[in-house]
Structure 1
Amino acid sequence: MKKVTYSIIGAGNGGIAMAGYLSHIGYDVNLYNRTLENIQPLIEKPRIGLTGEIEGYGELNLATNNIKEAIEGTDIIMVTVPAMGHYNLAKAMAPYLEDGQIIVLNPGRTGGALEVYAAIKKDYPNKNIVVAEAQTFIYACRATSRTDAHIFKSKKEVSLAAIPANKTLDVINLLKPAYPQFIPARDVIETSINNYGAIFHPAPTLLNSGHIERGAPFEYYTEGITPSIGGFIERMDAERMALGRLLNINTLSAKDWLEETYGAKGDNLYEAVQNNPAYHGLQAPKGLNIRYIYEDVPYSLVPMSSLAKQFNIETPAIDSIIRIAELITGIDFYKEGRNIERLGLKGLQVNQIHEFAEKGSISEEREEGVVA
């Protein structure tokens, strides 16, 4: 059986770690980054060093800032760029995508696969491609330089779903030799709602924004999530789970997810965070111009809040974080983010939402009113 080939899109924390790992275990890997300056050291010497859970190095097949070169002839395109770049990336890749190629968003945040699939199909409706999304990124990791990454811990399980949904198991089977942690989800609505970055990223950042903005050193999770912040995060999580129940998907609380993913236990979320070895040593960011606000609020929390409003579900904790982010940044995230209109979900009933997620289209007409 031919070993699959990979393109990794994005040379940030996750992209460097993923490209290094896959090439380290013997796969042919192309690494793409839009900004030449950030990938130039790997163009000159295409070798990534790894420390932490995985020690060693990986030799890249190619490092480039040319998207056509990066994806040409590869089997699986692993996207690690922030969610705010998914739409433009889809448009940039679309002319060069080949029938049979698989795009995997790592992660999709909320609605990523829907957005990317629609963007590609709008201009190239006859291209036979699959767009999948992971529920979360498979590692806790950091790039330590432009050519090195430290992998703190790999997650034990990560849900994944594809559009079309009948391709999910095919995608997982292709990924399995490298990533046996991927397990199938019902569809991309399930992976979107079970987006734990939405729960663990914006709230601790904004509720510690004073310390972060002045660059005070502290461990982001173990020190940034105090008992009271942990309690607030659990309220956000309860709202997410209520939306999941309405959409008839399997949901797991953030506390239980920490146990399932990392083996971290506790009587509440605060205790589970403190007992998670993967979070120890992860430092808080220096400054507020970060993905935890500019990605996770508009591309994770906004679609959850927008969808909840369509079904008259109240989300006061989630909405308060969105509002604080808007007041601090001056950006209307409800307008700029992945709202239900942008995702094509406005006016859809629950069964239609799943049909849209499974097929990329719906066979029935949309309802003018909201139907729960």
Structure 2
Amino acid sequence: MSVIDATHFAVLGAGHGGQALAGYLSLKGFKVNLYNRSSDRLNSLRLMGGVQVEGEIQGFAPLNVVTSNIEEAIKDAEIIMVVVPATGQRFMAENLVPFLKDGQIIVLNPGRTGGALEFRQIFKERNVTVEVIISEAQTFLFASRISGPAQVKIFRIKNSIPVAAIPAYKTVEVVTALRKALPQFVPEDNVLKTSFNNIGAIFHPTLTILNAARIENTHGEFDYYIDGITPSVALILEAVDSERVKVAEALGIRAITAREWLYSAYDAYGRNLYEAIQNNPGYRGIRAPYTIFTRYITEDVPMSLVPISSFGKMLQIPTPTIDCMIQLANILHNKDYFVEGRTVEKLGLAGLSVKEIREMVVVEANSSS
């Protein structure tokens, strides 16, 4: 059963992005159920009956259901929008399993690196038999922040969000279902492409680690990109980026470089990554995190850098700079992100050939596809 022009959404996660997306969809005239694992964050939303949206789109957005019960949240929803840090996606997958219904579409916003593959593997392990589609966005639609109780501000809405389903031939069904609500979502080749075009993997962890002293001394009181990226720091970012692109190439994926992404996303210009960043007005005024215990490390290292490194090891593509950044994060946080993060073993891909992986993401048909 295919969904055409979906009208009923479940948004899982009531953080900055979740509240923004729920409010946006409601203001566009769609029925929205909002779920959060912890009920504390929902109190003001329940009291108000919705969320006040400011910024790029404005108005009070009524919500159909506000709940910490995931079964209630996804009941009758055609589209399930997962809007949580990638570290919380496994929890969502495991808790969705008993309540999924035929025809529902799951969209990870975003999947980081391997999000849809992780969902697929969890559903396979749990013997999911209902016909649902798993998909992931390459990045999140908004730049947004909670600005008060039951209040969220959308600073910017991106023009284009690549999305891919697993298997890839189902991507058209996802885009068709979303076309009225979210016309910004456009089809990407497959989930390997969305996963390896995860540019946050390049900027966030490395830049935070290399600016650790400055972050601790100033509590983030500096321009994260403009001040935090010097010519020398940019060289290290380019090394990380080059390794990501080479691993993607080994999988048959032509990944966009960070510099190319800056050109297309922000109309930036420059002969190298440093110049492109400094010539990007969109980065001016963005402050650094106030602590090194930030999602830029806790999410982007295990859910972005670790899977790239893991794919590299399996495909015999060296990733020395990426591995160095992961190890530095381990020291800073007293963790072992190599163990905690997404790996080819956890994604059910260990031992598969490139041909087998590509066939799986493009054409595999199984009960949880």
TM-score bucket (shorter structure): over 0.9
What's the % identity of the aligned pairs?
46
Q: What residue is the counterpart of 1:281 in the other structure?
A: 285
Question: In the alignment, is residue 343 of structure 1 matched against residue 353 of structure 2?
Answer: no
Provide the rounded CA distance (Å) in 2 between the counterparts of 1:16 and 1:176.
21
Query: What code does the residue aligned with 1:44 have?
Result: L
**1:49 paired residue among 37, 42, 52:** 52
- The whole-number CA distance in structure 2 between the counterparts of 1:16 and 1:40 is 13
Counterpart of 2:252? 248
The CA deviation at 1:128 is 0.5
SS of 1:191 mapped into structure 2 = helix
The CA deviation string for residues 258-303 of structure 1, in whole angstroms up to 9 with x for no partner, is 2222323333223333333433333222222221111110111001
| Residue of structure 2 equivalent to 1:196 | 199
1:238-261 Cα deviation digits (max 9, x unpaired) = 111111111111311111112222
Q: Aligned with 2:345: secondary structure? A: helix
For structure 1, the residue ranges without an aligned partner over 5 or more in a row are 363-372
Give the deviation of 1:171 after TM superposition: 0.3
Give the Cα separation in 2 of the matches to 1:178 and 1:273: 32
The amino acid of 2:276's aligned partner reads A
| TM-score of the aligned structures, taking structure 1 as reference length | 0.92
Query: CA distance change for structure 1 residues 145 and 124 in 2, over 3 Å: closer, same or farther?
Result: farther
What is the identity, as a one-letter code, of the residue corresponding to 1:120? F
Residue pair 1:303, 1:340 contacting (<8 A) in 2 also:
yes
Matched with 2:229 is: 225
| Cα distance change, pair 146–355 in 1 and its aligned pair in 2 (3 A) | farther
The 10-residue stretch of structure 1 (218-227 or 329-338) with the greater mean CA deviation from structure 2:
218-227
Question: Which one-letter code corresponds to 2:304 in the other structure?
Answer: S
> Larger relative CO (CA 8 A, sep 6+): 1 or 2?
2
Count of aligned pairs:
362
* Alpha-carbon distance in structure 2 between the residues aligned to 1:258 and 1:49: 32
Give structure 1 regions of 4+ aligned residues with deviation exceeding 4 angstroms. 359-362
Report the counterpart of residue 366 of structure 1 in structure 2.
Answer: none
How far, CA to CA, are the matches of 1:265 and 1:230 in structure 2? Answer: 15
Report matched runs for 1:176-187 at 5 Å.
176-187=179-190
Asked whether the equivalents of residues 152 and 278 of structure 1 are also in contact (C-alpha less than 8 Å), the reply is no
Partner of 1:162 in structure 2? Answer: 165
- How far apart, in 2, do the equivalents of 1:14 and 1:258 lie? 22
Q: CA RMSD in A?
A: 1.9
Map of 1:358-369 to 2, 5 A cutoff?
358-359=362-363
Q: Which runs of 5+ in 2 are unaligned?
A: none
Q: Name the CA shift for 1:59/1:262 in 2 (closer, same or farther; >3 Å).
A: farther
- Residues 1:123 and 2:130 aligned together: no
Give the one of 206, 213, 221 matched to 2:216. Answer: 213
* CA displacement 1:218-247 (0-9 Å, x = unmatched): 222232223322222111111111111111
Counterpart CA distance in 1 for 2:42 and 2:12 is 11
Task: Check whether the contact 1:155–1:262 (CA below 8 A) recurs between aligned residues.
Answer: no
Q: Does 1:77 align with 2:104?
A: no
Q: 1:26 to 1:247 in 2, by over 3 A?
A: same
* Inter-partner Cα distance in structure 2 for 1:78 and 1:303: 23
Match of 2:302 in 1: 298
> Given the two structures, how large is their TM-score scaled by the length of structure 2?
0.92
